[in-house]
Amino acid sequence: MQDTSIHSERDSIHEPEQVRPTIGGQPRKRARPAFTPFPWITIALLALTLAGCSLGGTNGATTGGSRVGQSAAPTVVVPPSAADLQQTVISVIRTVQPSVVEISSRGSNGGAVGSGEIVTTDGYIVTNDHVVDGFSSYSVTLANGQSYDAALKGQAPDDDLALLKIDAKNLTPIAFAESKNVQVGQFAIAIGSPLGLEQSATFGIVSAVNRTATEGSDGPARYPLTGLIQTSAPINPGNSGGALVDLQGRLIGVPTLAAANPNSGAAADGIGFAIPSDRVKFVADQLISTGKLTNTGRGFLGVQLQDVTPELAAAYNLPVKSGVLIVGFGQDANGKSPAQDAGVKTGDIIIAVNGQQIESGSTLSTALSGLAPGAQITLKIARGGQTLEIKVTLGERPAR
């Protein structure tokens, strides 16, 4: 076992023994000096001797009034452009922090901590639905340390968004950017309460846009989340519902998910996803006005599907080895399946949408993301030994 005991410096420093100088191993007899040196000469010689010993044998000791950190060690000259960027990041964080809050949810089965952002001066706060879903009471802590009880005013589970309200005035709402203009490579700053560490900021870039991800069986969304912004700014538990902002301090997305490493099951470093701000604003406006999402604004194909794999294709003698197999149909907001109405049948395999190859349900969701109800698409279908093209007018995805 490694010895972790700590010894004081006093234990490791020993005073040198005073030894009489010798010649040939015998004590040297002192000769009577012919004259007695003046005291100041003796003091000067002693000072020189001690100084010589110090210069030759110090081990980190300071001499002559020197202090740690006062040496002329080399430093890096920061270019003005880098200094400006650094100051911009600092300014963005200081500007945005008053608009970001910590949310504590409590219920009979325990509690959770997440983040949110103020969207109106009179206390409406947007967060993720999974931060509040299943709990009965909520509290919000502002950047200045003030805490308020909060009321749950609306939920949109399929978008994993929710709305809280606190009784406060003259708050600082966050500014919104148009996420449709976000570009891969632009800087992004995430602000929230990861692991309960309130008002924490992380820095990265926008790694990709228009991503599709699923929350798994324990998430509130029954559909995959589409149109997501991928970022390298670290996202940890507690960041959920917080703010992902640009260098102007404007919201570009709400951090919601971190990718999981398939080998370990733990969160993958530097791969997080945020709900785009355009979608956040669309949902939040409805939750404020009606308390629920009445119009999803999303196109809906109305199919139930299964991913086609080489193994599945071999087992059922399918004509293709990738795509999505239609196993049933779903109803849109008007109670019908647009795909079925257009002539799609169970057993068909969608292999392309508008010329984009479809390999799985995830790529199908990505191809349809951003399309509004009424949009017309062309499906390329494998049916038996035939390849067909079927035009479908999308319906509206139903609100839960």
**293-319 pLDDT, tens per residue?**
999 999 999 999 999 999 999 999 999
Name the superfamily (CATH) of residues 82-166: Trypsin-like serine proteases (2.40.10.10)
Q: What pTM value is reported for the model?
A: 0.78
Confidence of residue 65 (pLDDT cuts 50, 70, 90): low
What confidence tier does 13 reach under pLDDT thresholds 50, 70, 90?
Answer: very low
Q: Between vectors from CA 204 to CA 202 and to CA 209, what angle results, nearest 5°?
A: 125
Q: Please determine whether the domains at 175-290 and 299-396 fall in the same fold group of CATH.
A: no
- Please report the pLDDT score of residue 6 as a whole number: 37
Domain edges within the chain: 82-166, 175-290, 299-396
Which positions are annotated as active-site residues?
130, 160, 240
Domain 299-396 has CATH 2.30.42.10: yes
Rounded CA-CA distance 82/387 in Å is 56
With cut-offs at 50, 70 and 90, classify the pLDDT of residue 219.
confident
- Angle (CA) 126-136-214 rounded to 5° is 55
CA distance 303 to 325: 10
Check: CATH 2.60.40.10 for 175-290? no
Best CA proximity match to 324, nearest among 368, 382, 369, 373: 382
- Specify the range with the lowest mean pLDDT, choosing from 13-27, 278-292, 312-326: 13-27
State how far the alpha carbon of 321 is from the alpha carbons of 293, 297, 315, 350, in Å.
Answer: 38, 33, 11, 11
Is 355 in contact with 390 (CB distance < 8 Å)? Answer: no
* DSSP annotation string for 223-265: S-EEEEEEE-S---TT-TT-EEE-TTSEEEEEEEEEEEPTTT-
Q: What is the DSSP letter of 321?
A: S
pLDDT at 327 (0 to 100): 96
- Contact present, 176 and 277 (Cβ < 8 Å): yes
For the ranges 133-137, 175-179, 192-196, 223-227, which has the lowest average pLDDT? Answer: 223-227
Tokens of 245: 């902002």
Separation of alpha carbons 3 and 274, rounded Å: 47
Is residue 170 predicted with pLDDT exceeding 80? yes
Question: Is residue 185 over pLDDT 90?
Answer: yes
